[in-house]
Amino acid sequence: MGIKRENSLNKKLIVILGPTASGKTELAIKLAKKFNGEIVNADSRQVYKGMDIGTAKPLSREFARIDHEYVRIIDGIPHYLLDVASPKRRFTLAQYRKSALKAIDKIQKKGKIPFLVGGTWFYIRAIVDGLVIPKVPPDWKLRKRLEKKYPEELYKILKKLDPKRAKTIEKENKRRLIRAIEICKKIGKVPPLKFNPLPYPVLMIGIKRTEKELMGKIRKRFFEWLKKRLIFEVIKLRKMGVSFKRIEEFGMHYREIARYLQGKISEKEMIENSIKEIQNYAKNQIRWFKKDKRIVWIKNQKEGEGVIKKFLKKFSKEKGRLSALKFS
């Protein structure tokens, strides 16, 4: 235990989170530049290749080879875990955690600060709190039946099976709903989540936006995505061999565009439904984030810099105190 604490003296992690369209990427790049950091993606859709416009993925043609892996360089800052998975297959939470911890370790070994940036709450919890996922093998027959249902239907099923788990799950996340139902069917209920938190200091910063401001940004951004040929991006996914069924699993606007391309809804319905889905997702993200009292909420870069300086100063004092105890 002592060795673990001693080895973690030089380590720290800064998390930049917030609802979709809150400006996480832009702010994180500025802060990473200021504080000698590198960025690790914590967005569950940006890990997939070919999903760029509809995930607001930071893009650049510049790459660097770091420890036998190609990492995208954006505005001079390395970004890990972008485009690491095929959209044809699910990239599991366990896979994400393993890859993200590896990237964080690489950054720390270079003497830099890892910035974990994104809005996927389960990704962030998997790293910061070491969320341990129950080991229940997949039931493919059950999954096949459940895949045909919408998130609202899946949520009702889970609520009947395990009301307690239903209170803590993302209602719009079809994949997580199916997995929770699967676990319930296998062992009677979803067991309490287990945690193995990081052994070093973590600062969690949240970007604060008013609901009116955020809803307006989401609407404006969606029309910008359409101008950038978001629909053609989904068509390209189909050309890559990704089924409509799989595209719909990504939820929100991807689901609505897939339905539109299949002739199930009109263009107008697709646009209205997509904007509404994204706005609801943002509201759910805010609800989840507000439950965690560790998050320090900021409005702009200046406030972010102040919070980080305070954190680093406190960490330096802690490091000095522990070093003094070690050699006394």
Task: Say if residue 104 is in the same domain as residue 243.
Answer: yes
Q: Residue 84's domain is classified under what CATH number? A: 3.40.50.300
> Do 52 and 79 contact (CB within 8 A), yes or no?
no
Q: Are residues 166 and 232 in the same domain?
A: no
Whether the Cβ atoms of residue 294 and residue 21 lie closer than 8 Å to each other: no
Same domain, residue pair 251 and 102:
yes
Identify whether residues 125 and 156 lie together within a single domain.
no
Distance in angstroms (rounded) separating the CA atoms of residues 287 and 292:
10
58 plus 92 within the same structural domain: yes
Residues 6+ apart with CB under 8 A from 75: 29, 33, 60
- Three-class SS state of 206: strand
pLDDT at 6: 42
Sheet of 63-66, strand order: 63-66, 69-74, 77-80, 37-41, 113-118, 13-17, 202-207, 296-298
Domain boundary, last residue among 169, 187, 205: 187
Q: What is the pTM of this model?
A: 0.84
pLDDT at 92: 87
> Residue 200 in contact with residue 11, Cβ under 8 Å?
yes
* Model pLDDT, residue 172: 74
209 and 296 share a domain?
Answer: yes
Q: Are residues 252 and 203 in the same domain?
A: yes
- What is the total count of domains within the chain? 2
Residues 77 and 203 in one domain: yes
What pLDDT, on the 0 to 100 scale, is given for residue 60?
A: 81
**Is there a single domain that holds both residue 172 and residue 202?**
no
- Per-residue model confidence (pLDDT) at position 2: 37
72 with 177, same domain: the answer is no
C-alpha 324: how far from chain center: 38
11 and 58 share one domain? yes
Give the Cα separation of 135 and 288 in Å (integer).
25
Q: What is the pLDDT of residue 9?
A: 59
Domain residue limits at 29: 2-132+193-327
Cα–chain center distance at 72: 18
Closest listed residue to residue 32, CA positions, set 118, 151, 155, 114 = 114
**Helix H segments across the chain?**
2-7, 24-34, 93-109, 121-128, 140-146, 151-161, 163-166, 174-187, 211-227, 230-239, 244-249, 252-261, 267-290, 301-327
Cα gap 230→27, rounded to integer Å: 24
Low-confidence ranges of the chain (pLDDT < 50): 1-6, 320, 322-328
Are residues 61 and 178 located together in one domain of the fold?
A: no
